[in-house]
Amino acid sequence: PICSINGGLRHSLSIPFFSQIPKLPIKANPKPLCPKPQLPFKHTSRALNLRAVLSRNPAETTANPNLPFKHSSRALNLRAVLSQNPAETTASEPKTQNFKHCFTKSDDGYLYCEGVRVQDVMDIVERRPFYLYSKPQINRNFEAYREALGGLNSIIGYAIKANNNLKILEHLRMLGCGAVLVSGNELRLALKAGFDPKRCIFNGNGKLLEDLVLAAQEGVFVNIDSEFDLDNIVSAARIAGKKVNVLLRINPDVDPQVHAYVATGNKNSKFGIRNEKLQWFLDAVKAHPNELKLVGAHCHLGSTITKVDIFRDAAVLMVNYIDQIRDQGFEIDYLNIGGGLGIDYYHTGAVLPTPRDLIDTVRELVLSRNLNLIIEPGRSLIANTCCLVNRVTGVKTNGTKNFIVIDGSMSELIRPSLYGAYQVMVLFLLTSMMKAFRIEMQRKRKTKGSWWGFIDFDLSCYLFINPMLHPISVTMSLASSLIACYTYLSAAYRAVAPSPPDAEISTFDVVGPVCESADFLGKDRELPTPNRGAGLVVHDAGAYCMSMASTYNLKMRPPEYWVEEGGSVAKIRHGETFEDHIRCFEGL
């Protein structure tokens, strides 16, 4: 079906997996569609007209859709037009900027990402929930590490486990990152993204022989984690016919003071070798001179670490081990101190260590031993660049507990359910009657008696089928249709209108639709009561969110977008579909 709304067209079209985003031009209307409602935040006097022209042939669209948004210091009106030449989109040299977070709430009450209103992005994407990233924030995060490492020979090895989006990996590789891998498929993905194998490090306590063979063939650094791991690396070297550069992953038994599930460097961890067995491993490496070359030592303490002294304590132990290893004739060139630097998930303004703070605590130790430093940032490179954008399905209570139910869930973002992790949530609400109408029409367009019914019937019968009726009759019919249309739009608007300025704040659990009591994204959050259709974003969702997403309850993994330099928005991952699931069973 095609409907003309204020001169715009919208085609109903299913967008297949890996097809491109069609053009969605939306222009500002100088006159608002309806009187401005009383809102709890400043509202722009201009409303958005829906002008959504979907491509009839997705195959004819460009290879990298860009949706430019006009920058403005005021509330922005969305202008979403596909780039005509996506090849010209390149990452500019990141600039140092004063910022607290790339997702900020402006004085007008709207949430913005790099000057682009998140609500506007929400209105044009074909599916929710979705992940939205800031590409400039990725640049800034990398630049912080690059500047901190000035004067040192180093490798910034991005931990692919944190976020394995191919477009993000390609961008980080272009900026200068190496890659840290914990599986054969992560190695294959790193190679696909163009990473230099000699700047890749293969970690893990259970690396498979076939994956180690690939690592040996490509010349990747491999960390020795156990006796059987060493045996497998030796076998892989023989199969590949190449000597493998290895590091010993030593468990320094340092308490990182983090959640037990993300602590990896204490005595109870499954990772690494104990220092009392160090000599056994040195002797084993000596026994295989044709297969193994020991080039460094590695440790990893954990994740979400907020005290840099912990890194220094571990580095002191590690350089002492390196001294002992060198005393036995090994040429040790690398110290890998892992990653794990935390971020401010609570947005309290807490003073947390920066990449420079981290590097400065180990700089003199590294220089004194003439070592190359390897670091493995994941969370601190990517977490604060992204939010998960959801829509409120409804609000309910069981008498003792209030719930905000959203379309996102533990399937898309499992950290709160898995770790009890806290991530800031922000509600933002629809303020345009036309936007409310769009949502209602998507839901009711196929139901009997919808807006299509009375408009098609009234206008068709009176204006088209019987054009010779008395002008008064035609005028009355048209007026009746307009009144009915306004009534419907008003009802649709009220369904998603924001709470009044004095809306009472209540305590809610924010939950999803998954059939598990553990399906929550936040517990006991103080929030205004939202109406159906309100937007809700979960901040700091760039790391260990999409990469840990599942298809539980057949909730297919969502699409991903990023805001680029200059304000354009591009899809960087297609959402998975039911058809993708069915394809796994074809031919069986």
* 74 backbone dihedrals φ, ψ, rounded to 5°: -95, 180
Written as six digits, the tokens of 453 are 């019914």
Cα 583 to Cα 238, 372, 577, 579, distances in angstroms: 38, 47, 10, 6
Under a CB-based contact definition with an 8 Å cutoff, are residues 530 and 427 in contact?
Answer: yes
pLDDT attached to residue 342: 85
Q: Is 467 exposed, middle or buried (0-12, 13-18, 19+ CB in 10 A)?
A: exposed
DSSP string computed for 468-516: TS-HHHHHHHHHHHHHHHHHHHHHHHHHHPPPPTTPPEEEEEEE-SSSS
DSSP string computed for 259-327: -GGGB-SSTT-SSSB-GGGHHHHHHHHHT-TTTEEEEEEE---BSSB--HHHHHHHHHHHHHHHHHHHH
Distance CA 120, CA 99 (A): 22
Q: Is the preceding peptide bond at 129 cis, omega within 30 degrees of 0?
A: yes
Distance CA 110, CA 133 (A): 17
What is the model's pTM?
0.74
Distance CA 243, CA 226 (A): 19
Written as six digits, the tokens of 403 are 């719930």
Within 8 A by CB and 6+ apart from 99, the residues are 140
Q: Is 278 exposed, middle or buried (0-12, 13-18, 19+ CB in 10 A)?
A: middle
| CA end-to-end distance (rounded Å), the chain | 37
pLDDT attached to residue 491: 44
Under a CB-based contact definition with an 8 Å cutoff, are residues 51 and 25 in contact?
Answer: yes
Show the beta-strand stretches assigned E in 114-243: 116-117, 130-134, 154-159, 178-181, 200-202, 221-224
Using alpha carbons, select from 193, 167, 251 the residue that is nearest to residue 574: 167
Helix (H, G, I), strand (E, B) or coil at 571: strand
pLDDT attached to residue 225: 93
pLDDT attached to residue 272: 74
Helix/strand/coil (H, E, C) string of 456-477? HHHHHHHHHHCCCCCHHHHHHH
Written as six digits, the tokens of 244 are 């493998």
Domain ranges of the chain: 136-377, 437-496
Using alpha carbons, select from 189, 20, 174 the residue that is nearest to residue 89: 174
How big is the chain, counted in residues? 588
Query: Pairing between strand 8-11 and 2-5?
Result: antiparallel
pLDDT attached to residue 284: 98
* 573 backbone dihedrals φ, ψ, rounded to 5°: -160, 135
pLDDT attached to residue 472: 57
Under a CB-based contact definition with an 8 Å cutoff, are residues 179 and 169 in contact?
Answer: yes
Class in CATH terms, 136-377: alpha beta
Distance CA 31, CA 46 (A): 6
Instruction: Please list the active-site residues.
Output: 515
Distance CA 6, CA 34 (A): 13
Using alpha carbons, select from 213, 173, 209 the residue that is nearest to residue 189: 173
Instruction: Work out the angle at residue 122's Cα, subtended by the Cα atoms of residues 126 and 533, and round it to the nearest 5 degrees.
Output: 100
pLDDT attached to residue 302: 64
Tens digit of pLDDT at every position of the chain (588 positions): 333 333 333 333 333 333 444 433 333 333 333 333 333 333 333 333 333 333 333 333 334 445 444 343 333 333 332 233 333 333 333 333 334 579 988 877 789 999 999 999 998 898 889 999 999 999 999 999 999 999 999 999 999 999 999 999 999 999 999 999 999 999 999 999 999 999 999 999 999 999 999 999 999 999 999 999 999 999 999 999 999 999 999 887 665 554 465 445 456 667 778 888 999 999 999 999 999 999 999 988 766 677 888 888 888 989 999 999 999 999 999 999 988 788 889 998 888 889 999 999 999 999 999 999 999 999 999 999 999 999 999 999 998 999 999 999 999 999 999 989 999 999 986 554 445 555 445 544 444 444 444 444 444 444 444 444 555 555 555 665 565 555 555 544 443 334 445 667 999 999 999 999 999 999 999 999 998 999 999 999 999 999 999 999 999 999 999 999 999 999 999 999 999 999 999 999
Under a CB-based contact definition with an 8 Å cutoff, are residues 405 and 397 in contact?
Answer: no
Query: Pairing between strand 66-68 and 568-573?
Result: antiparallel
Within 8 A by CB and 6+ apart from 470, the residues are none
Distance CA 322, CA 295 (A): 10
Sheet hosting strand 103-105, strand order edge to edge: 103-105, 111-113, 116-117
Instruction: Work out the angle at residue 161's Cα, subtended by the Cα atoms of residues 122 and 147, and round it to the nearest 5 degrees.
Output: 85
